[in-house]
Structure 1
């Protein structure tokens, strides 16, 4: 029983009205991207996260022959863009399906994506299973979670959705995301806030046309921003229930999405109750079966 989680970071616009068969998310304008997501061509990394997630789960299912395997892939992300009434998770889900079902007799993927790693991932997946098996897999074992407003939610709500579907928690959890966010997911969200171990597959952005010095500056800044905007705040606020993390979450919820998972508990607690005490007295008690 494995769960692969893809934290989403944007919305593929054509998920609402897909009129162009050659729109596979290869151009920045196919997405709603923030300025900081442009230099590194983050949309290519996002697509690779989804494809790597599919590959990981295909490999897992090939090794897990138990009748009640319950192996799943969730694209996790809420309706964060006010101009588009669709969740990040659903848009990723639709895009990855479109890419994997794309007929290369129309146009080779290598002519659409100038990213050999991305194209290789598609071919590896399609060469590992028949089209019929892949179609069945994409409809049965892949879905989306659309309440998450930050990285903690990506992990927490995905676990709750899995339990909602199968009445148990997954035995194995794999997150596929940006490499520079590894510590945030593995240590702060997984071990510290939820008391679980997760596997993490990291794929970072790949800016092009930069000198070695410029490339170093780019990745140094990624690490700095990750520390400033995520690691330090989450060290002080494990569950994002206080400012500034709470304000950031609320700003990402223009449609007022409210999660309703049966196993959901309120993570808001008095500031006098330290996060560690809250974890030990409330979280561990409620979710003692997170790791079966």
Structure 2
């Protein structure tokens, strides 16, 4: 089993991860004393803890922190989350810290890459593809993974689960966030499933993504072709090749 923790920021002082000042946050992720909005770093810690809890009964589970070097920090998002986990002193599979089964995927710059690159990193580390995948992310992104990303990479829908944990929203904040998700993510990925056209590709570039970074991720020829697929003539055509994880 693979549990993917989608990373959303970088913690630069894991020893004080509960403090907002320890994190590199975007303006919309920061707290607001006037409205009572908490910093989203608290939600990111909940994502880490949720992954540990979901993997606890299964010693064969690998928890993958997924997030690239999206800023000029010395840390990738994934590295910083793993450091936070170490400071939290939470075990995986009920074992000791030395037995924790975690890994980092340090290339992903968006949710599509979080899913695909984590599956490929699992293949590299374990020698096979995971039987099931659980993604830990924000709740407002659940349908993006289940309806769009899984379809784009042909991952069996019966073998993908998404556990969403949102920041504590007011009704107005929730409605604004859901509207933004629909217009600036779900709709865009529906039209451009592989994120290779503007504006999705612009977001990747702004997060330090370069296409050559995908080289070497694939083991099989068909997977390498998927990494190069651009959506065909329409830009929204699903990859036509047969992938090793597809159900027969």
Structure 2: gaps spanning 5 or more residues: 31-36
Structure 1: gaps spanning 5 or more residues: 16-20, 62-68, 102-124, 208-214
Higher alpha-carbon Rg = 1
Please give the per-residue CA displacement for 1:124-170, whole angstroms capped at 9, x wherever unaligned: x69x83xxx231332xx111110101100000000101111122110
Provide TM-score, normalisation by structure 2: 0.86
Q: Which gives a bigger RCO, structure 1 or 2 (Cα 8 Å, sep 6+)?
A: 1
Which residue is 2:127 aligned to? 167
| TM-superposed deviation, 1:9 | 0.1
Please give the per-residue CA displacement for 1:164-202, whole angstroms capped at 9, x wherever unaligned: 112211011101111111001111111344332211111
- What is the distance in 2 between the residues matched to 1:270 and 1:177? 25
SS of alignment partner, residue 176 of structure 1: strand
Which residue is 1:37 aligned to? 29
| TM-superposed deviation, 1:31 | 0.4
CA distance 1:27–1:256, change in 2 (3 Å): farther
- What is the distance in 2 between the residues matched to 1:45 and 1:226? 18
SS of alignment partner, residue 258 of structure 1: helix
1:99 aligns with 2:97: no
Report how many aligned residue pairs link the two structures. 234
Question: Map of 1:32-181 to 2, 5 A cutoff?
Answer: 32-38=24-30, 39-61=37-59, 69=60, 71-82=61-72, 84-100=73-89, 129=94, 133-138=95-100, 141-181=101-141
| TM-superposed deviation, 1:291 | 5.3
Which residue is 2:166 aligned to? 204
1:3 and 1:73 in contact (8 A); partners too: yes
Q: Which has the higher helix share?
A: 1
- What is the distance in 1 between the residues matched to 2:13 and 2:208? 21
- What is the distance in 2 between the residues matched to 1:26 and 1:72? 25
Provide TM-score, normalisation by structure 1: 0.74
CA distance 1:291–1:201, change in 2 (3 Å): farther
